[in-house]
Amino acid sequence: MSNPTNLKYTASHEWVKTEADGTVTIGITQHAQELLGDMVFVEAPAAGRHLKAREECAVVESVKAAADVYAPVSGTVTEVNGDLDSSPENINSDPYGAWMFKMKPDNSADIDALLDAAGYQAVVDSEAH
C-alpha cells in the first residue's frame, strides 16, 4: 500500500489530513501498523487538551509492543475516535481510515512544513537500511 498523496506525514510515522474546516485528523501510517503488528489497545489524548508539536500524546499497543504517538503540530485536541477503544484492530485493516484524534492547529502554516508522501517514503526507506 502506498502512502496517500493528499496527506502530510511526520518522520515518527503519523499521518495528518487537513479538513475543510481547518482542523487536522491524525492517525498512524501503514508502515507503522505493519511494524507493530496486531493492535490491541489505543489511548488517545483527551479532547480539549493543548499539545505542543512533537509532544507524546497518545499510545498504541500491539501484542508485541507499545509505541508513543506524537503531536505533529501544536494545537488543541477537538475530537477522539472512540471506535478504537473497542476495535483497535481497525488500525491494522485500514490505517488511513482509522484516525486517532483531531486537532485545531495553533498555526495552520505548521502543516505545510510536514513531510509529503515522497518525503515520508524516503524516511521509511532509510530506516530499512
Partner 1 sequence: MGRCTNFVQRLFHFLKANMTLKTTPLNAAHRAMGAKMVDFGGWDMPVNYGSQIDEHHQVRNDCGMFDVSHMRVVDMKGEGVRDFLRNLLANNVDKLTLSGKALYSTMLLENGGVIDDLIVYFMTENWFRIVVNAGTADKDIAWMKKQAELHAPLLDIVDHPELAMIAVQGPNARKKVWDALPGSQELTEKLIPFSAAETGTMFIARTGYTGEDGFEIMLPAKAAPFFWGILAEKGVKPIGLGARDTLRLEAGMNLYGQDMDETVGPLESGLAWTVDLKSERDFIGKAALLANPPTQKLIGLLLLDRGVLRGHQKVHTPHGIGEITSGSFSPTLEKSIALARVPKDVAIGDTVQVAIRDKMLNAQVVKYPFARNGKGLISL
Count of beta carbons in the 10 Å neighbourhood of residue 78: 15
**In this structure, is the dihedral angle defined by the CA atoms of residues 118, 120, 121 and 125, taken in order, positive or negative?**
positive
* 2 or 86: CB nearest partner 1: 86
The span from the CA of 98 to the CA of 87, in Å, is 10
Site string for partner 1, 74-113 (x = CB under 8 A): -----------x------x---------------------
The span from the CA of 111 to the CA of 113, in Å, is 5
CB hemisphere CA count around 72 (13 angstroms):
33
- Tell the smallest beta-carbon distance from residue 55 to partner 1 (Å): 13
Cell 472512540: give the residue. Answer: 82
Chain positions 46 to 75 lying near partner 1, rule: CB under 8 A, are: 59, 61, 63-64, 66
Q: Which of 4, 6, 22, 37 binds partner 1 (CB under 8 A)?
A: 37
| Residues at the interface with partner 1 (CB under 8 A) | 37-38, 40-41, 43, 59, 61, 63-64, 66, 85, 92
